[in-house]
């Protein structure tokens, strides 16, 4: 699982950073998370193939999280895409996109599938053999979800040296052993799977918490994730402003990470009033030491 930071600042783009957008690669499945202005340019810079993206997850319908989406979808049409693309987002995302494409007379040969969300409870919204995705209900000025991405366990790894001790085990039996099944010899003796295999790598998890006020209700959902991205728009001295605008302080982001016992925290969505993001980093570290600042186009191995 790899995460590429495409943009991380708040509403207004700067010379050095773009609004929120991330690319997540889970076992060669490409996922776009939010799509702020300039996202497709960032994808180009990161050398990410546009057509590798088959799912887009939008947290909410504020412009700095969706204004890059119509242009990206139009570019896919120009690139000759024919495979379907699924967009998950709040109710209204379908109307927003279809109106933009209609007014601009954009044509496409691929199908757009919209999954509009409205529940205020965490729910499983996608699942395949590789991973599953859950919503993380957030508390912002408008209906907003974060997303939890969880890998499914890999198959167990064969211990070939151990298998060689049992002549009855044939190559055709390997798949069952990888699936965790014991092997029964012709005399009825059961060879435990643990003696024939090694544990696979532990499944990874990533939680994306976009714009939100301090919200302890998300703690059970994001508990012990390998990586948490959490907005940290303001310093604690502007806590009242954070509350008024539906955002979090860096101290609050660190507190959420600490209480959830996550392995690493990345903060973002910084107010443009801060020229040095290290002040936000140091405040978050007061609550959670393993906190990092985002780096544009950085790819993180989760």
Catalytic residues: 64
CA distances from 244 to 199, 224, 254 (A): 49, 29, 20
Q: How far apart are CA 268 and CA 293, in angstroms?
A: 7
| Strand runs labelled E in 152-261 | 157-158, 183-184, 190-191, 197-198, 205-209, 227-231
| Strand runs labelled E in the chain | 2-7, 21-26, 29-35, 53-57, 85-90, 112-117, 124-127, 131-137, 145-151, 157-158, 183-184, 190-191, 197-198, 205-209, 227-231, 265-268, 291-292, 299-301
Q: How far apart are CA 274 and CA 279, in angstroms?
A: 8
Closest CA to 59 of 71, 69, 72: 69
Q: Answer for the pair 125, 135: CB distance below 8 angstroms, yes or no.
A: yes
Residue with tokens 């959830």: 260
Q: Do the strands 145-151 and 157-158 form a parallel or antiparallel pair, or are they unpaired?
A: unpaired
Q: How far apart are CA 75 and CA 60, in angstroms?
A: 22
Q: How far apart are CA 61 and CA 170, in angstroms?
A: 56
Q: Answer for the pair 275, 261: CB distance below 8 angstroms, yes or no.
A: no
């Amino acid at each position: 699982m790899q995460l590429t930071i495409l943009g991380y600042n708040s509403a207004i783009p700067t010379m050095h950073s773009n609004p929120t957008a991330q690319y997540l690669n889970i076992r060669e499945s490409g996922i776009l998370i939010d799509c702020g202005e300039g996202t497709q340019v960032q994808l180009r810079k990161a050398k990410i193939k546009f057509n590798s993206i088959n799912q887009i997850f939008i947290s909410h319908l504020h412009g700095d999280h969706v204004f890059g989406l119509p242009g990206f979808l139009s570019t896919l049409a120009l690139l000759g895409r024919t495979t379907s693309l699924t967009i998950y987002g709040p109710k209204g995302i379908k109307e927003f996109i279809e109106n933009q494409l209609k007014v601009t007379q954009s044509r496409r040969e691929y199908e757009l599938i919209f999954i509009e969300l409205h529940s205020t409870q965490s729910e499983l919204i996608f699942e395949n053999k590789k991973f599953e995705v859950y919503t993380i209900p957030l508390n912002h000025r408008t209906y907003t979800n974060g997303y939890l991405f969880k890998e499914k366990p890999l198959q167990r790894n064969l211990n070939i040296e151990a298998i060689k001790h049992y002549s009855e085990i044939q190559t055709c039996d390997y798949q069952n052993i990888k699936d965790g099944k014991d092997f029964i010899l012709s005399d009825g003796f059961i060879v435990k799977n643990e003696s024939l295999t090694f544990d696979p790598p532990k499944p990874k998890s990533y939680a994306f918490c976009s714009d939100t006020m301090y919200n302890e209700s998300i703690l059970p959902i994001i508990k012990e994730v390998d990586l948490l991205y959490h907005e940290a728009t303001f310093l604690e001295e502007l806590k009242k402003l954070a509350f008024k605008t539906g955002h979090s302080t860096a101290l609050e982001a660190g507190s959420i990470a600490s209480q959830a016992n996550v392995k690493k925290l990345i903060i973002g969505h910084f107010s443009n009033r801060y020229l040095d993001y290290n002040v936000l980093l140091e405040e978050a570290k007061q609550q959670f030491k393993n906190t990092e600042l985002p780096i544009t186009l950085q790819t993180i191995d989760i």
